[in-house]
């Protein structure tokens, strides 16, 4: 199965190198697709450029896009630190040419998560979730923000991704504060891990109740995720999905158990369907994509193969290759796309820094086909070329993060390296 998946990835990575004939001259697209490659029939324009540290995004009415901008001090290791302040960029294409010609800014403390519901724009900071109502034209905040949630622990993994369930509950990712919950300067894991009470999982809050406190009012919906940055609700199955970053340092910390090559590929980046009460095992367990199941972490007595207590941990739908960095998740909708894309999932991979001696990887958006009520297990490249040939964080030209789709079916991709936003459309073969 692993060889089949890699074969599909390798085959798909060659798609789109030659710009599809149907998109040449299309006024909605750039001649070079904004420096990325796409499958035949798709083309792209640079919707906006150099807007700051662009993380997640959401499409609103009237061709308006809202983009969460991190402040420079919030950016992750290896990301080019833009000097623009954080907040929310409001982008509108008022003349329909596929490029934003109106750009506004809503001041916030900066953050990564953003969502819309019932006329409100919700956004996160590292320690809060807030919302604003918008002016009639949708270009500015109509008043001061409301605080929905406060007291989320800051520091560590601080991307607070947001997703709404169909009934209105608000899900928030609260990533771990550590790699694998060890004592300071130690190699043995704390058991039980004290972080699990308030971090390393998905929390659910009431979407319309103000002044909720994380430690008192939040419901720990699922636990055992190191950092589930890619988070989205699937309206077809009415289920929550996430793609989570796996742990680091297997060969560095445990050279007698893992070679550098094994550590480059392990553990999986987990693509998972999440039900209330699920436990995905972190820090005690991780998914080994060569064995295709969860194994016990060395910090908790694992030897590279033992399962032990991890037999009770929930398995992912797909174990993506290690250290690709999944940051964005989108379920495609609408009849404007070919049948294979309808209802499929897109996952944006921010890119690795720690796969040596293997080549660094990620820096792409992949398509996961829907198979009945689930997805995969195969996947293929949808958009590539972001890194510009430099597969490392410091030199990569762009690093994809957020994904969104508007009412016309256009797909948007954000980059937090140089602040670029692409608009991708299907124009036919």
pLDDT digits (tens, 9 = 90+) for 207-227: 999 999 999 999 999 999 999
pLDDT of res. 75: 56
pLDDT digits 0-9 by tens, 50-67: 999 999 999 999 999 999
The confidence band for 14, taking pLDDT boundaries of 50, 70 and 90, is very low
Query: Rounded CA gap, 171 and 219, in Å?
Result: 9
3-state secondary structure at position 312: helix
CA 347 to each of CA 98, 244, 300, 383, 417: distance values in angstroms, whole numbers, following the listed order: 23, 11, 31, 10, 18
Burial category of 309 from C-beta neighbours within 10 Å (exposed 0-12, middle 13-18, buried 19 and up): middle
The CATH number that applies at residue 386 is 2.120.10.30
pLDDT of res. 27: 84
Domain that holds residue 142: 2-426
Average pLDDT over residues 317-346: 96
The confidence band for 19, taking pLDDT boundaries of 50, 70 and 90, is very low
* Contact present, 161 and 56 (Cβ < 8 Å): yes
The confidence band for 242, taking pLDDT boundaries of 50, 70 and 90, is very high
Query: Rounded CA gap, 193 and 284, in Å?
Result: 9
Average pLDDT over residues 344-361: 97
Average pLDDT over residues 309-330: 98
Q: Which residues of 93-126 are buried (b: 16+ CB within 10 A; e: fewer)?
A: beeeebbbeeebbbebbbbbbbbbeeebbbbbbb
The confidence band for 306, taking pLDDT boundaries of 50, 70 and 90, is very high
Domain count within the chain: 1
- Quote the tokens at residue 18: 């030659």
pLDDT of res. 183: 84
Evaluate the omega torsion of the peptide bond into residue 134 and state whether it is cis, within 30 degrees of 0. no
* Contact present, 206 and 216 (Cβ < 8 Å): no
Q: Which residues of 363-392 are buried (b: 16+ CB within 10 A; e: fewer)?
A: bbbbbbbbeeeebbbbbbbbbbbbbeeebb
- Is residue 6 pLDDT above 50, yes or no? no
pLDDT of res. 73: 66
pLDDT digits 0-9 by tens, 160-175: 999 999 998 999 999 9
pLDDT of res. 85: 72
Query: Rounded CA gap, 176 and 40, in Å?
Result: 40
* Contact present, 29 and 45 (Cβ < 8 Å): yes
- Is residue 372 pLDDT above 80, yes or no? yes
- Quote the tokens at residue 241: 């999905």
- Quote the tokens at residue 183: 């004592």
* Contact present, 152 and 160 (Cβ < 8 Å): yes
Contacts of 389 (CB under 8 A, 6+ apart): none
- Is residue 1 pLDDT above 50, yes or no? no
- Is residue 318 pLDDT above 50, yes or no? yes
pLDDT cut 70: percent of the chain above it: 91
Count of CB atoms situated within 10 Å of the CB of 348? 32
pTM of the model: 0.92
């Amino acid at each position: 199965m692993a060889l089949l998946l890699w074969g599909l990835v390798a085959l798909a990575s060659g798609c789109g190198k030659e710009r599809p004939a149907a998109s040449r001259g299309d006024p909605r697209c750039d001649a070079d697709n904004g420096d990325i490659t796409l499958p035949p029939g798709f083309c792209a324009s640079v919707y906006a450029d150099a807007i700051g540290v662009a993380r997640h995004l959401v499409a609103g009415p009237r061709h308006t896009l809202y983009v969460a901008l991190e402040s420079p001090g919030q950016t992750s290791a290896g990301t080019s630190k833009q000097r623009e302040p954080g907040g929310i960029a409001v982008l509108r294409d008022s003349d329909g040419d596929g490029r934003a010609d109106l750009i506004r800014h809503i001041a916030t403390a900066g953050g990564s998560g953003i969502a819309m519901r019932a006329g409100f724009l919700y956004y996160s900071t590292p320690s809060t979730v807030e919302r604003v109502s918008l002016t009639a034209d949708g270009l500015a905040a109509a008043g001061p923000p409301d605080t929905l949630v406060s007291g989320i622990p800051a520091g560590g993994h601080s991307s607070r991704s947001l997703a709404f369930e169909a009934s209105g509950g608000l899900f928030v990712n609260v990533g771990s504060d550590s790699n694998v919950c060890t004592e300071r300067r130690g190699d043995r894991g704390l058991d039980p891990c004290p972080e699990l009470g308030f971090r390393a999982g998905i929390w659910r809050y009431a979407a319309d109740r103000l002044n909720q406190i994380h430690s008192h009012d939040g419901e720990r919906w699922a636990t055992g995720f190191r950092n589930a940055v890619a988070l989205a609700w699937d309206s077809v199955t009415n289920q929550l999905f996430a793609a989570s970053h796996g742990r680091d340092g297997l060969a560095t910390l445990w050279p007698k158990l893992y070679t550098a090559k094994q550590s480059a590929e392990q553990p999986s980046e987990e693509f998972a369907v999440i039900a209330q009460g699920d436990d995905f095992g972190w820090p005690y367990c991780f998914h080994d994509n060569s064995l295709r199941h969860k194994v016990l972490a060395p910090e908790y007595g694992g030897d590279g193969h033992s399962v032990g207590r991890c037999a009770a941990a929930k398995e992912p739908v797909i174990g993506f290759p290690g250290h690709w960095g999944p940051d964005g998740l989108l379920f495609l909708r609408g009849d404007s796309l070919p049948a294979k894309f309808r209802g499929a999932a897109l996952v944006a991979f921010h890119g690795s820094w720690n796969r040596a001696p293997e080549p660094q990887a990620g820096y792409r958006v992949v398509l996961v086909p829907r198979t009945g009520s689930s997805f995969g297990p195969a996947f293929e490249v949808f958009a590539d070329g972001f890194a510009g040939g430099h597969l490392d964080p410091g030199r990569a030209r762009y690093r994809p993060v957020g994904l969104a789709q508007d009412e016309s079916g256009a797909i948007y991709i954000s980059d937090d390296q140089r602040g670029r936003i692409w608009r991708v459309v299907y124009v036919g073969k």
